[in-house]
Structure 1
Amino acid sequence: MRSAKEIWEAALGELQLQVTRANYDTWLRDTVGLSYEGENFLVGAPTTFASEWLQRRLHALIKKTLNSIIGLDTDVQFVIHQPQREKATLSVPAARQGRSQEESHRIPGNSSKLNAKYTFPSFIEGKCNRLARAAAMTVAENPGTSYNPLLIYAGSGLGKTHLLHAIAHLASERRSNFLYVSSEQFTNEFISAVRERKMEEFRNRFRRVGLLLVDDIQFLADKEQTQEEFFHTFNELHSANHQIVISSDRHPKSMPLLEDRLRSRFEWGLIADIQPPDLETRLAILGYKAQQQGIEVSQEILELIARKVQSNIRDLEGSLNRVVAYSKLTRTPLTLEQATQALADIAPERSYRATLTPTSVMNTVASYFGLGLEEITGNKRTKRIALARQIVMYLLREEGQLHFGIIGRELGGRDHSTILHGWQKITHDMNLDNQLRRDVLEIKNLLYSR
């Protein structure tokens, strides 16, 4: 009989692939499977608010996920569960116990504490993130002296939040006065301060720190009054040589609703991007995650996961968790066959594949490269057209699951060997060429966002 803990771990592996990073980290990461009796499954959440939020927002998804794992129609309930453990929030140095909460090292909000796993030693370095990691380490060791501000931008799940937390952890170890918030927290606290007429407290809180870290700054882009307040906060901190670190999912130039004066200030220091990890880095990450969990996973299984999941690190970790949980739940050895079965329907966008057509794929790729559809299906072989055409071959095979012969007919009557070569070339080159991998991932996002 599988325990509630084992079943819930498997469910978390599934849910991690179905919800956003913010929702998973905030509401699901600290939950635990408490009991499973009859048709009732009990889940423990750390707070009343978290329990109510899960019941209200994620109940249907969690119930569906549990039913698929257990194989029975099961009702799920959420209760408060607070095991005795070391808190992840940061303690205040003894010498400062008498000071106000605003000056403490704790992060505001119950859901925004530092993740104890997000440190510099646990950040796997590769070609895709080397500059961002080096810059983060530099400002962590010598805040305010170089790269001010430091802006790290990357797609979802690639490690920008990890680096911000790593900087904050080092600041905590050195008893530095820092504050880490998301842009949403900054906005909410600003609105509350205006409403409650506590702007002086708000400004003291954000403008007297030696290090300010703001995650997901792109969400300020359409909030004029919040941008105004952050502009003045930025100026005061920068003029005092206090370090500012911000993260975003895009370059400042790609934020049309961001005020020009903020955009220019973001470009004063260093802008470092993190690209999707290459195969070598993905394998290193998986190996580290397996070692963290104290499990032995063969190289061929790690390579299977690394080749299947190329988009981001969070999905990579979630896929490993899924494979391990599948093995535990079925009480079978962790083999390549079991891993393949566990990952059979892993792609979150798989449910949308039925809506993909050769025409939609070709039009999306053509638009991305600024080409016409007739150039994709025609005989021209310039470097740009040939690359776009081979990406179409790859996507129709990988995402559309079409046979090579069908793909050839859609692409103007090309033969089987031509399609096979194009698919193999993109599959191979994506593990070596960061720009190609990013292009393919962006095209996939365009396909599945329609």
Structure 2
Amino acid sequence: MEKNVEKIWSNCLKIIKDIVEWQHYKTWFEPIKAISLKNNVLVIQVPSQFFFEYLEEHYVNLLAKTLKRELGKEARLEYRIMVDSGNSKNKPLTMDVTGTGYKTYSNNEMDFPLVINNPVKNPFVIPGIKKMQIDPQLNINYTFDAYIEGDCNRVARRAGKTVAEKPGANSFNPLVVYGGVGLGKTHLVQAIGNEVKKAYPNKIVLYVSSEKFINQFMDHSRNNAINDFIHFYQLIDVLIVDDVQFFSKAERSQDAFFAIFNHLHQSGKQLILTSDKSPKDLEGVQERLLSRFRWGLSADLQIPDYETRIEILERKMKADGLDMPKEVVKYIAYNINSNVRELEGALISLLAQSSLNRREIDLDLAKKVLRNFIKSSSKEITIDTIQKMVCDYFNVSYDKLLQKTRKREIVQARQITMYLAKSFTKNSLKTIGEHFGGRDHTTVIHSCQTVKDLMDTDSVFRENVLELHQKVQLAAM
């Protein structure tokens, strides 16, 4: 009989293996053991209650069709579920299930009725609070009102509002927000979470960084409690996962997240993800996950423009009850243009120095305080970089820039390049001249003076120089 059981189940597995993905097969079918076969009822043993529930939810039709193919129309399937007895001296408990009703447990020594009432381990439970009252891990200060809308984030912010109004019942599922460091990804996705909690108090919302998710998975793996881990996350209504790019080095965590993602999405729950890159550019993340990331909407966050930076500073000042001269606000917004985090950091630094030195904030103090800040956030610009930018701007080849020619457009392009090199680099006049075919320092001095004179008399020339000056300055930030 046992050989017959093994043969029947082996035939079933061959069919299933050709239908489901390899990773799914290894996760959900390899651990199953065929126990007995009697009167066309095949009993299989599965590792846990969650395992049984997952099979019933996702693969019951496949199992039924496969079994009927091997045993005929009267074939039935029953489960034997392994349950921790809680006593190392006893053998593991088992529970026989037909798929619709529960029977009795046994540890092969005595039979007795038991009730399943083991709470799912909650990594985010609030101490002293009953299960499933989960701390959403949200910063209450991250709201939509505090998130300034501009061209840099308009699509992402409005998509976030839509998700917050109808979590899980919109076409932006998942919503993937991506962009560089300090552009407001975490603020935006937590604002969604806070808005959902406000509008739907009974929904379970959870924010978690990918690093924390991975660490939790590793802890549960060491304790042989991966199923509990997955089961917990599958109870969430709105799951927010920050920095999914860190999944790239965690293959097994990706497998767990894949199971969680599928369950939540199929159940109409909302998924919100952030990343430093677009899903199509993420490396080391399984393609099956990336394809699901692309199911909804991917919205990027850009560096805020000058006007948006002004508004961010003014909103921050208003919230903190501060007042600063308009020229100081403009100075900060113009010079700190890398990201929102550094913009706010520069403001805090200026306010701190003003308070410590008991000095009113003015432009001179701003320049003094932010000098090192701006310098530290700037990139080093080389003569070669400036030469390339000028050549691209005037559509002049690099070789012609170095040639001894009297063509006006070439001469002016070279003079502007020398002028910008003197303004943006620490190179000596001699070094600058050497980068232009070995010209001496007097040529550089003459070129710089010529540029200054022409800017006073030629409006078109002046606009060209100012535009190039701004391009180089932006490149330096």
TM over 0.5: yes
In structure 2, distance between residues paired with 1:406 and 1:421? 27
For residues 89-133 of structure 1, the C-alpha deviation after alignment (integer angstroms, 9 at most, x for no partner) is: x998xxxx8631xx22314xxxxx422321110001101100010
Match of 2:466 in 1: 424
Q: Contact conserved, 1:183 with 1:214, CA < 8 A, in 2?
A: yes
Q: 1:212 aligns with which of 233, 239, 243?
A: 239
Letter in 2 for 1:130: R
Inter-CA distance 409–297: structure 2 relative to 1 (3 Å threshold):
farther
Secondary structure in 1 matching 2:288: helix
Match of 2:300 in 1: 273
Match of 1:152 in 2: 177
Inter-CA distance 378–115: structure 2 relative to 1 (3 Å threshold):
farther
In structure 1, distance between residues paired with 2:415 and 2:234? 52
Match of 1:124 in 2: 148
Give the drift of 1:410: 3.8
Inter-CA distance 158–98: structure 2 relative to 1 (3 Å threshold):
closer
In structure 1, distance between residues paired with 2:282 and 2:470? 33
Match of 1:78 in 2: none
Per mean C-alpha deviation after superposition, the further-off stretch among 315-324 and 422-431 is 422-431
Secondary structure in 1 matching 2:372: coil
Match of 1:344 in 2: 371
Aligned counterparts, 1:229-244, within 5 A: 229-244=256-271
Inter-CA distance 260–211: structure 2 relative to 1 (3 Å threshold):
same
Inter-CA distance 425–362: structure 2 relative to 1 (3 Å threshold):
closer
Match of 1:138 in 2: 162
- Are 1:333 and 2:360 matched, yes or no? yes
Letter in 2 for 1:312: N
Larger Rg computed on CA atoms: 2
In structure 1, distance between residues paired with 2:225 and 2:419? 56
Match of 1:22 in 2: none
Inter-CA distance 365–170: structure 2 relative to 1 (3 Å threshold):
same
Letter in 2 for 1:358: I
Q: Contact conserved, 1:124 with 1:285, CA < 8 A, in 2?
A: yes
Match of 1:67 in 2: none
Match of 1:253 in 2: 280
Give the drift of 1:283: 0.1
- Are 1:223 and 2:250 matched, yes or no? yes
- Are 1:303 and 2:330 matched, yes or no? yes
Match of 2:319 in 1: 292
Q: Contact conserved, 2:183 with 2:339, CA < 8 A, in 1?
A: yes
Q: What fraction of aligned residue pairs are identical, expressed as a percent?
A: 35
Q: Contact conserved, 2:174 with 2:293, CA < 8 A, in 1?
A: yes
- Are 1:282 and 2:305 matched, yes or no? no
Q: Contact conserved, 1:276 with 1:310, CA < 8 A, in 2?
A: yes
Aligned counterparts, 1:41-440, within 5 A: 99-100=130-131, 103-107=132-136, 113-146=137-170, 147-173=172-198, 174-175=200-201, 176-347=203-374, 349=376, 353=380, 357-359=382-384, 361=385, 374=398, 400=425, 410=435, 415-416=447-448, 417=451, 424-426=466-468, 428=470, 440=475
Letter in 2 for 1:425: E
Give the drift of 1:204: 2.0
In structure 2, distance between residues paired with 1:229 and 1:391? 58
Question: What is the Cα-based RMSD across aligned positions, in Å?
Answer: 3.9
Inter-CA distance 98–279: structure 2 relative to 1 (3 Å threshold):
closer
In structure 2, distance between residues paired with 1:99 and 1:252? 38
In structure 1, distance between residues paired with 2:377 and 2:142? 30
Secondary structure in 1 matching 2:298: strand
In structure 1, distance between residues paired with 2:355 and 2:329? 17
Give the drift of 1:208: 1.0
Gaps (5+ residues) in structure 2? 1-123, 404-413, 456-460
Inter-CA distance 301–98: structure 2 relative to 1 (3 Å threshold):
closer
Give the drift of 1:185: 0.6
Match of 2:111 in 1: none
Gaps (5+ residues) in structure 1? 1-89, 108-112, 380-388, 432-436, 445-450
For residues 10-66 of structure 1, the C-alpha deviation after alignment (integer angstroms, 9 at most, x for no partner) is: xxxxxxxxxxxxxxxxxxxxxxxxxxxxxxxxxxxxxxxxxxxxxxxxxxxxxxxxx
In structure 2, distance between residues paired with 1:391 and 1:156? 34
Give the drift of 1:392: 8.6
Give the drift of 1:395: 8.7
Q: Contact conserved, 2:177 with 2:298, CA < 8 A, in 1?
A: yes
Q: How many aligned residue pairs are there?
A: 322
Per mean C-alpha deviation after superposition, the further-off stretch among 224-233 and 122-131 is 224-233
TM normalised by structure 2 equals 0.59
